[in-house]
């Protein structure tokens, strides 16, 4: 059996998901529930083999190889693996221009673990 990891949400990532779900629920509560459920199910699976997801391409080209992502519909769940922990760093809308946003948020959130 594979190594077991502990999944931890950072406070900013929780804020991201709350903002996303609150925004969606204003127009479609059923869709908001579906997205939240899908995100939670995907994140729970990170306790085993979190390396199976791709490295964030916008960060990889700058040499940041520690960050991986899960894509759930339009949203990207960015996380980092450190020892026996998987830290959920942020959840962002994949339709936005991500390079500057990701770089700024990841560097700022690095100190919040």
| Residue 58 pLDDT | 84
| Residue 79 pLDDT | 96
Terminal C-alpha separation, the chain: 28
Neighbours of 87 (CB within 10 A): 22
Q: Give per-residue pLDDT as tens, 83-107.
A: 999 999 999 988 876 766 666 666 6
Report which DSSP code applies to 85: E
Report which DSSP code applies to 2: P
Domains, the chain:
6-112 (3.30.2310.20)
Q: Give per-residue pLDDT as tens, 1-44.
A: 568 999 999 999 999 999 999 999 999 999 999 999 999 999 99
């Amino acid at each position: 059996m594979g190594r077991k990891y502990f999944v931890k949400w950072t406070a900013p990532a929780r804020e991201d998901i709350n903002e996303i779900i609150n925004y969606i629920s204003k127009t479609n509560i059923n869709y908001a529930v579906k997205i939240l459920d899908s995100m939670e199910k995907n994140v729970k699976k990170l306790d085993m083999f979190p390396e199976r997801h791709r490295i964030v391409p916008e960060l990889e080209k700058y040499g940041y190889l520690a960050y991986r992502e899960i894509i759930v519909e339009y949203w990207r769940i960015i996380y980092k693996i450190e020892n026996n922990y998987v830290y959920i760093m942020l959840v962002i809308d994949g339709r936005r221009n991500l390079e500057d946003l990701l770089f700024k948020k990841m560097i700022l959130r690095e100190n919040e673990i």
